[in-house]
């Protein structure tokens, strides 16, 4: 099926998902695009995922604040306007910096991030996460978390 044009305005955004302290809004699902996904991510200082990898590319565009992004032997403080592209299989992590931050993230064709985020929002209560359950969800969604 060929994807149809669409527009998403702030008044029509889906509810922001609570993903272990980070607020993630699905702007474009792979069902809508027939391939890639786009998310608006907001995080308080110190929030973000542990080192992990997955079978889809991921690109971050920082809209505000700062985000410490790590991949390979590189750790950088990405600030407003920075774009970071991570190919599929790249071990990476990020943490929102002082005062928190905002960014867009875009996955490549075949990404499964929306499913991951929705499942975490539905199955993991706010507060300190049940790590075993979180790892199970990640595994089910094709995300490999570094021990």
Confirm whether 115 is domain-assigned. yes
Q: Can you read off the two tokens belonging to residue 109?
A: 């064709």
Please say if the pLDDT value at position 50 is more than 90: yes
* pLDDT of the residue at 126: 85
Q: Is residue 89 part of a domain?
A: yes
pLDDT attached to residue 1: 73
* The pLDDT of residue 127: 83
Give the Å distances, CA to CA, from 82 to 8, 23, 67, 78, 118.
23, 20, 10, 6, 27
When the pLDDT of each residue in the chain is averaged and rounded to a whole number, the result is 95
Q: Distance between CA 77 and CA 70 in Å, rounded?
A: 9
**128 domain residue, yes or no:** yes
Structure-block tokens of residue 10: 């702030």
Q: What is the CATH number of the domain that holds 16?
A: 2.60.120.10
Question: In total, how many domains does the chain have?
Answer: 1
Which residues form the domain of 51? 10-142
* Exposed / middle / buried, residue 17 (Cβ in 10 Å: 0-12, 13-18, 19+): buried
Does residue 1 lie in a domain region? no
Q: What is d(CA 50, CA 29) in angstroms, rounded to the nearest whole number? A: 23
Apex CA 128: angle with CA 70 and CA 126, to 5°? 105
Chain centroid to CA 141: how far? Answer: 13
What is the number of other CB atoms lying within 10 angstroms of the CB of residue 87?
13
Answer yes or no: is pLDDT of 47 > 80: yes
How does pLDDT run across 66-85, given as a tens digit for each residue?
999 999 999 999 999 999 99
Predicted TM-score of the model (pTM): 0.93
């Amino acid at each position: 099926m060929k994807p149809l044009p669409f527009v998403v305005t702030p008044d029509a955004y889906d509810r922001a998902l609570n993903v272990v302290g980070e607020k993630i809004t699905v702007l474009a699902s792979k069902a809508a695009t027939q391939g890639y996904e786009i998310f608006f991510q907001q995080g308080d200082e110190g929030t973000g995922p542990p080192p992990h990898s997955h079978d889809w590319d991921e690109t971050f565009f920082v809209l505000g604040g700062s985000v410490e992004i790590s991949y390979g032997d590189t750790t950088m403080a990405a600030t407003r306007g920075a774009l970071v592209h991570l190919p599929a299989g790249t071990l990476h992590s990020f943490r929102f910096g002082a005062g928190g931050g905002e960014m867009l993230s875009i996955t490549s064709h075949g990404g499964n991030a929306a499913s991951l985020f929705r499942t975490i929002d539905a199955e993991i209560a706010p507060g300190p996460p049940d790590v075993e359950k979180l790892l199970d969800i990640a595994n089910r969604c094709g995300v490999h978390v570094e021990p």
